[in-house]
Amino acid sequence: MLPFTRHPAVGHPGTHRSTRRQTETVPACQAGGLGRTLFARKFVRSQADDDLVAEHRADCLVRNDSIALLGALDYRRKTPFLGVKSEVGVNLSYQYLDTLTTQVTEDSEPTRTHHTIGYPKHSFVLNVNYQNGPFGWFGSFNYTGKVDQEADEAENFREHPRLDDVMFVNTGISFDVAGALNKKIGKGMTFRFIVDNLFDTKPPFPVPADGGSVTYFTGILGRYFRAGASIKF
């Protein structure tokens, strides 16, 4: 994601049934002086019982040089209908970037950065996880919106001034040996197999000719596979 993105911690079900609800509100966003930041933050967390944890977060950032809205959702629920010990988790982080500029001094002209490579107006990352005993699966969806190649250029300056939006999808599975066989056999050993850029999505033309190698790194490499094992002592 982008510089303003904050990834909230994922909650886990408690051991006792309970009902909790917290709400924290800070006054609305206001633009301060150069470099001054004021947040309007609303945080809500509710936990209905052992089977469900949900966390929601929204942040608004307003400064003289930047205006952005961030949203995040974490949701985890036990799903016995998909397996006796199974649970599904969803994590979504979204960013709306309206304005982002750079200004050296108060008297200098600001330089536009928003809506260029690496700073799209809309972007999000969606992660979906499934765990059933020793077996795990995940899917990750990374969306980057349309951007200009360079800021403040004339419309006819280049043949391809804008880059199309793109989404890269990764997926993978994991297998815990101890959980599947015996707690004394393969304790702490986990095998993983991951596919990056599942659909072999290409970066929007003409990247990387004009930069953007970091933002579109997955697309530049194409589809590739990874396998590994980890052992905990």
> 81: number of CA atoms within 13 Å, CB side?
1
Task: State the pLDDT at residue 26.
Answer: 38
Angle at 188 between CA 86 and CA 191, to 5 degrees: 70
Is the distance from CB of 215 to CB of 117 less than 8 angstroms? Answer: yes
Q: Is the peptide bond preceding residue 134 cis, with omega within 30 degrees of 0?
A: no
Task: State the pLDDT at residue 211.
Answer: 73
Task: State the pLDDT at residue 130.
Answer: 97
Task: State the pLDDT at residue 92.
Answer: 93
In whole angstroms, give the CA distance from residue 23 to residue 43. 6
Number of Cβ within 10 Å of residue 166's Cβ equals 20
Task: State the pLDDT at residue 50.
Answer: 61
Task: State the pLDDT at residue 38.
Answer: 43
Task: State the pLDDT at residue 154.
Answer: 75
Angle at 213 between CA 210 and CA 214, to 5 degrees: 135
Closest CA to 219 of 187, 197, 198, 186: 197
> 108: number of CA atoms within 13 Å, CB side?
10
pLDDT by residue for the chain (233 residues), tens only, comes to 333 333 333 333 333 333 344 434 334 444 443 334 444 444 455 555 566 677 766 677 666 567 777 788 888 888 888 888 899 999 999 999 888 877 777 777 777 888 889 899 999 999 999 999 889 999 999 999 999 888 877 777 888 888 999 999 999 999 988 766 666 655 678 899 999 999 999 999 888 877 788 889 989 999 999 999 988 77
Task: State the pLDDT at residue 51.
Answer: 66
